[in-house]
């Protein structure tokens, strides 16, 4: 099994920054892929950033490219999402997710690739 615990959410004014952290533990083969997803009010859950062992660089939602950065510590026990220049439309519950190395093709934000999820952390951006 894999356990994920997010932290770092909060309230910030537009233009501000937050860094989310996700401490991950458990079977390393089941958490080779990592991702951040979010659910904005009234909308479906969507991918924000994901990283796979099959690719060198993370994938990002178009709306966060250049503003958000996904990174991992060298031991790959913590995944971060640095969020800069936040906008009110970034207001959402942010979830960390983990999954095994993908064995089939698919989109970068395919939630079926991530069977393990954290509890979520609220991010609120005011204008």
At 8-52, the pLDDT tens digits run 999 999 999 999 999 999 999 999 999 999 999 999 999 999 999
Helix (DSSP H) and strand (DSSP E) numbers for the chain: 0, 11
DSSP string covering 28-80: GGGGSEEEEEEE-TTS--EEEEEE-TT-SS-EE-TTTTTTEEEEE-TTSSEEE
In this model, does residue 105 exceed pLDDT 90? no
How many CB atoms are located within 10 Å of the residue 83 CB?
Answer: 26
SS3 13: strand
Residue 47 buriedness (CB in 10 A; 0-12 / 13-18 / 19+) = buried
Q: What is the pLDDT of residue 10?
A: 97
Give the rounded percent of residues in the chain with a pLDDT score beyond 90. 91
Q: What is the pLDDT of residue 70?
A: 98
């Amino acid at each position: 099994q894999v356990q994920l615990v997010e932290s770092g959410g909060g309230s910030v004014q537009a233009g501000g920054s937050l860094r989310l952290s996700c401490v991950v533990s458990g079977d390393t083969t089941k958490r080779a892929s990592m991702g951040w997803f979010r659910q904005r009010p009234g909308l479906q859950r969507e991918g924000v950033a994901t990283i796979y062992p099959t690719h060198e660089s993370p994938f990002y939602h178009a709306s966060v490219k250049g503003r958000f950065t996904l990174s991992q510590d060298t031991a790959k026990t913590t995944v971060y999402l640095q969020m800069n220049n936040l906008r009110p439309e970034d207001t959402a519950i942010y979830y960390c997710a983990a999954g095994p190395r993908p064995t089939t093709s698919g989109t970068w934000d395919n939630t079926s690739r991530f069977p393990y999820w954290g509890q979520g952390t609220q991010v609120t951006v005011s204008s």
